[in-house]
Amino acid sequence: MTTKRLGNTEIIARVVLTAGCKNIVQRGLLSALLLIMALNGDVRGQRVYANTSQKSPKQTLVLLTLSDVTDENKATDNSSFTDYSTLFTTVGALSLIEAWQNLQFPSSSKPAANSPVTIMFGANSSIADVINGISIQPTSNGTLVGSAYSSSALLGLLGSGAVDKEITLPAPGVSYDGIRYRVSPSVIGVAVTGRYYYAFFITPPTVPAATVCTGSATTLTIGNPQSGYTYNWYSSSSGGTALQSGTGTSFTAPALTSSTSYWVEAVETATGTNYYSGRTQVDVTVKPLPTPATTGANQSLCSVTSTTLTGNTPTVGTGTWTRVSGPNTPTISSPNSATTTVTGLTTGSYVFRWTITNSTCTASTSDVIINIGTTPAITISTMPSACQQITMAPMTYTVTGSPSTYSITWNPAASAAGFQPVTNATLTASPIQVTVPVNAATGVYSGTITVKNSGGCQSIAVPVTLTVHSKPATPNFTVTTN
């Protein structure tokens, strides 16, 4: 077996050689290995190996070495995982003699509290035979943390009485950056020698948190995907059935109505043994949709420069007034207030919009139309007058503000005499012909006249008087004949 570890990447080639083709196979193996190395095969690229270590001090009695750790760099040299350090103890009084080595991970890439860690270690005989003299425990900055794996707990992970064994230790549940392997004589007169090969953990997936709106689905994408790995997505931090499992690097969360968390783990599968990372929590924050926007009724105003805009006060989100269109850009006094004054208006039609937003959710909008017109005016040049039994009386006038209709209202006396009101009649060119009741008595009748333009603006009422004159007497003709 040929084994090479390049940084965090291990390349393994195994071949069974026969005497007749040994050289050919060796050359082929070398070529294949060089090709793999050239391509920098990365099926184990998410492993992080311990790269530094501390060891116990050498213990001696006169000239006798009681315990020592030798070749300690072979457990962290990143060249071959068949190399190992040796932890040596001789006979002693139980745990008074010990040798230990603590393998530490890079300071820039430490395991999380929920990250399992895989180690390979061995002993001078079946591990089961010397299990009482072996202890494995997490460390943090060189200090023991969490619980030690020893005796029956360690046997449960070993599964056999091998001399050398690779095992994956469950996540300790505390912050740690190293794994210490300790050996000591388990029985007086029986020495224990240990071998420490390596320690590594699987880098967990990195997935950014997401923010969505109520009822929206979202896709969560792993930021550090690796070939040769399977990714399992869960709805809980431990246990449970995977929501999705496969080599795909994205997971589509369903439409959500409340904030939810998912967890994802990386599993190295390409090497024939499944190595699991700790689960990464991915939070999906769900934002409620903004309150639907509403505004007051459209406004038709005359000869004003300001008005009040009214919208609803949002219970979810923030509201903002903006001008959509209009003849100029007036000033909105309080753009984020549901009710605000707008000044600087001029004649023309405006559209103002009340927009309620909440995070990235689709905004809700409502528009209001403000029409600003010019107030027209009418001036009577000649008041109408007519003789009895004449039914039409002309009234000359001038106007401003482009009025298109007129209305006449009579006072009670005129109404009693039969004068009829005029409502929004088409304004013809001067003069206006005012209708006079055929039986109107002589006298002066009073009323008012207003004009209105197409913008709905109406003038102030202007007094009108209509005089009915008596009909002249019939002439008396005398015919004289000669």
Do 401 and 422 touch, CB atoms closer than 8 A?
no
* Token pair of 399 as six digits: 């106007």
For 424-431, what is the mean pLDDT? 97
Residues 40-54 have pLDDT tens digits of 344 678 999 999 999
- Cα 187 from Cα 435, distance rounded (Å): 133
Q: What is the mean pLDDT of residues 134-146?
A: 96
**Beta carbons within 8 Å of 85's beta carbon, 6+ residues apart:** 53, 55, 69, 70, 71, 72, 73, 74, 75, 101, 195, 196
pLDDT mean over 339-351 = 97
CATH number of the domain located at residue range(s) 47-202 in this protein: 2.60.120
Paired strand residues for 54: 102
Beta strand 462-469 with 385-387 is: parallel
Which tens digits make up the pLDDT trace of 160-183?
667 899 999 999 999 999 999 999
What does the pLDDT read at residue 13? 31
Closest CA to 407 of 376, 441, 369: 376
pLDDT at 22: 34
Closest C-alpha to 189, from 92, 97, 276:
92
Q: Give the integer Cα–Cα distance in Å for 37 and 47.
A: 17
The answer as to CATH 2.60.40.10 being correct for domain 299-373 is yes
The arithmetic mean of pLDDT across residues 59-86, rounded, is 87
- The residues pairing with 126 across neighbouring beta strands, listed in sequence order, are none
pLDDT (0 to 100) of residue 482: 64
Q: CA torsion, points 312, 318, 319, 320, in degrees to nearest 10? A: 170
Q: Name the pTM for this structure.
A: 0.70
Q: What pLDDT, in 10s, does the model give residues 438-453? A: 999 999 999 999 999 9
Please choose, from the candidates 191, 195, 187, the residue with its C-alpha nearest in 3D space to the C-alpha of residue 66: 191
Distance of CA 122 to the CA centre of its chain: 50
The strands making up 306-310's β-sheet, listed across from edge to edge, are 306-310, 339-343, 331-332
Q: Which residue did the predictor score with more confidence, 130 or 322? A: 322
* 157, 116 contact by CB (below 8 A): no
Report the pLDDT averaged over residues 195-222.
Answer: 96
Alpha-carbon distance of 92 to 94, in angstroms, equals 6
Mean pLDDT calculated for residue range 465-478? 82
Mean pLDDT computed over 210-232 = 95
**pLDDT higher for 130 or 353?**
353
Would you state the pLDDT for residue 427? 97
In the 8-state DSSP scheme, what is residue 187? B
Tell me how far apart the alpha carbons of residues 356 and 351 are, in angstroms, rounded to a whole number: 16
Q: Are 455 and 437 in contact (CB under 8 A)?
A: no
CA distance 303 to 138: 82
Q: What is the DSSP letter of 407?
A: E
Given a cut of 80, whether residue 226 has pLDDT beyond it is yes
For residue 85, the model assigns a pLDDT of 96
Place of tokens 């002066």: 444
What architecture does CATH give domain 377-469?
Sandwich (2.60)
Q: Tell me which residue of 135, 136, 126, 124 sits closest to 191, measured CA to CA.
A: 124
pLDDT of amino acid 380: 97
Percentage of the chain modeled with pLDDT above 90: 73
Mean model confidence pLDDT for the chain: 87
Q: What is the CATH number of domain 210-287?
A: 2.60.40.10
